[in-house]
Amino acid sequence: CSSLAASMIGETQAIAVNVMAENGRIDSQKAVSLGLIVTELVLNAIKYAFSTEKVDALILVTYETDAEDWKLTVSDNGWGKPVGDIPGAGLGTAIVEALVKQLEARIDTVTGNTGTTIAVTRATFTSRMPKAA
C-alpha cells in the first residue's frame, strides 16, 4: 500500500494507491505490457477521477489468476464519468487498447458516481477481489 500526492496534476490532495496481487507467473513481454497498462490507467485515475478534492481518495490495483487466465483491475472511488461522456480517444487510450489486443484480452469499463472500474481480462472466472467503491 502506498500514498501519493497528486501534485503532478496541480493538486495537493493525498491519493492512496493500494495493490493486491495473487501469485502467478507470466512471461516478461506480457508483464511489461501489463505494467504499461497499469501505469496508464492509474495516471488517468489521478488526472480525472479526483479532479476536485475527495476525502479518502483511493485507487485500487488488483491482479488475480486462475491457471492460464488472469484479470487486472484498476478501480477508483472518484467522481466517475458524467452521463453521456464519450470515452477518450487519446494516445493513452489507444496504447491501452493496443496492449489489450496484443494480450488477447478484453477491456471492460464500469463507471458511476462512486467511481470507475476498468478490468482487463483474459479469463472466464468471476473476480474475487474488492473494488475501491
Query: pTM, whole model, 2 decimals?
Result: 0.81
Q: What is the pLDDT of residue 1?
A: 44
In a domain, 95, yes or no: yes
In a domain, 132, yes or no: no
Residue 84 has pLDDT above 70, yes or no: no
Pair 61, 74: CB distance under 8 Å: yes
pLDDT digits (tens, 9 = 90+) for 114-133: 899 999 999 776 777 788 77
pLDDT digits (tens, 9 = 90+) for 44-72: 898 888 878 888 999 999 999 988 899 99
Pair 103, 123: CB distance under 8 Å: no
Q: Cell 488488483 sits at which residue?
A: 62
In a domain, 89, yes or no: yes
Higher pLDDT, 5 or 27: 27
Query: Can you list the positions of beta strands (E) in 67-129?
Result: 69-76, 106-112, 115-122
Pair 61, 42: CB distance under 8 Å: yes
Domain that holds residue 63: 2-122
The whole-angstrom distance between residue 26's C-alpha and the CA centroid of its chain comes to 19
Kindly list the strands in the beta sheet with 106-112, ordered across the sheet, starting from the edge strand earlier in the chain.
Answer: 2-5, 14-21, 58-66, 69-76, 115-122, 106-112
In a domain, 131, yes or no: no
Q: What is the pLDDT of residue 4?
A: 46
The whole-angstrom distance between residue 93's C-alpha and the CA centroid of its chain comes to 12
Total domains present in the chain: 1
- The answer to which of 39-43, 44-48, 54-58, 84-88 has the lowest mean pLDDT is 84-88
